[in-house]
Amino acid sequence: MKNIDENNGFDHGTHQEFLDYYSEKSLTESSMQRMRGIFDCINRNLRKRNISKKLIVADIGCGVGVLSSMWAREGHTVHGLDVNESLLEVARQRAASENLKIDFRLGSATNLPWHDRSMDICIAPELLEHVADWQGCLREFARILKPNGVIFISTTNKLCPRQEEFTLPFYSWYPRRMKHHYENLARTTRPEIAGYATYPAVNWFSYYELRDELSRLGMESFDRFDIMGLDDKPFYQVIVISMVLRSRILRWLGHVATPGLILLAIKNPTEYSRNTRL
């Protein structure tokens, strides 16, 4: 199931094993809870900024459209983009079954098809680790966001030894050369070690690296502890999180202990124009 775009070299097809695996996994309780967690996290932080209007949302790397559908059900205008045509077809079918109007497009996160300053929210779940030009992705995210727009990113966390991208223990701590070896295996003779992904993870980040890169694009970043909801947490967890928020060392240790990386950033309208090509 292959479809090569001759203009940019991207393979818009996929292994049938990956399509079946991903489509089924997207409907599991754990996957739905994770997507709902992202949706709730963004909305919780929008409420903190007194933002309650209907929004224009870009779901980058939308896959089968689970997050896109959540936003569309709430009446927001939603645009979804993915490099995989097979996953997009599943997304379109699922949206049509609910009469949801979502603009799903085939394309690359390094060359988004939308105008400058056209989106209120940009969501990039589990995307940056798969794109070699991840800095180009960040520039594109910042470009399409309106002033004071919000971006949510979830990706690999190289500080934590636990990860889900490869079925190998402590993979995020492997030396770069060893990672390249297994990346090549995943693309050739051992696709199962990366869940049959057409584009296995090639990037591993820390929150601090992404924060600094986004700062150069005129964006203010907040980590998982800054954006965490505390209302439903037990008292002891509230105490622990409060301590983490007050200590740089405890915050760093918190990142080491947490699989995956999540980040929310706000576009600063006064800084962005000096740092991009708009």
Kindly tell me if the per-residue pLDDT of 1 is higher than 90.
no
If pLDDT is split at 50, 70 and 90, which confidence band does 53 have?
confident
Place of tokens 């689970």: 66
- Residue 99 is given by DSSP the state T
Residue 92 to residue 251: CA distance in whole angstroms: 40
103-154 pLDDT, tens digit each:
999 999 999 999 999 999 999 999 999 999 999 999 999 999 999 999 999 9
Q: Residue 248's CB: how many other CB atoms inside 10 A?
A: 8
pLDDT over 50 at 200, yes or no: yes
Instruction: Give the orientation angle of helix 207-216 with respect to helix 134-144, to 10 degrees.
Output: 50
pTM: 0.85
Domains in the chain, ordered, with CATH? 16-272 (3.40.50.150)
The mean per-residue pLDDT over the stretch 15-19 comes to 58
Amino acid at 73: R
Contact 104, 68 (CB under 8 A): yes
Under 8 Å between Cβ of 137 and 127: yes
Cβ atoms of residues 79 and 109 within 8 Å: no
Handedness of CA 267, 151, 170, 248 (dihedral sign): positive
How many H-runs (helices) and E-runs (strands) does the chain carry?
A: 10, 7
Task: Record the tokens describing residue 267, joined without a space.
Answer: 């576009």
For 2-16, 159-173, 225-239, 245-259, which range has the lowest pLDDT when averaged over its residues? 2-16
In angstroms, rounded to a whole number, what is the distance separating the alpha carbons of residues 71 and 48?
18
> What integer pLDDT is reported at residue 275 of this predicted model?
43
Contacts of 219 by beta carbon, 8 Å cutoff, 6+ apart: 142, 151, 265, 266, 267, 268, 272
pLDDT: which is higher, 11 or 122: 122
Angle, CA of 135, 206 and 245, to the nearest 5°: 125
Tens digit of each residue's pLDDT (9 = 90 or more) over 61-98? 999 999 999 999 999 999 999 998 988 999 999 999 99
Which one is predicted more confidently, 49 or 24? 49
Query: pLDDT of 19-40, one tens digit each?
Result: 655 566 667 787 888 899 999 9
> Starting from the edge strand earliest in sequence, which strands make up the sheet with 56-60, in order?
102-106, 77-82, 56-60, 119-125, 145-155, 261-267, 219-223
- From the list 118, 124, 128, 115, the residue with the least C-alpha distance to 149 is 118
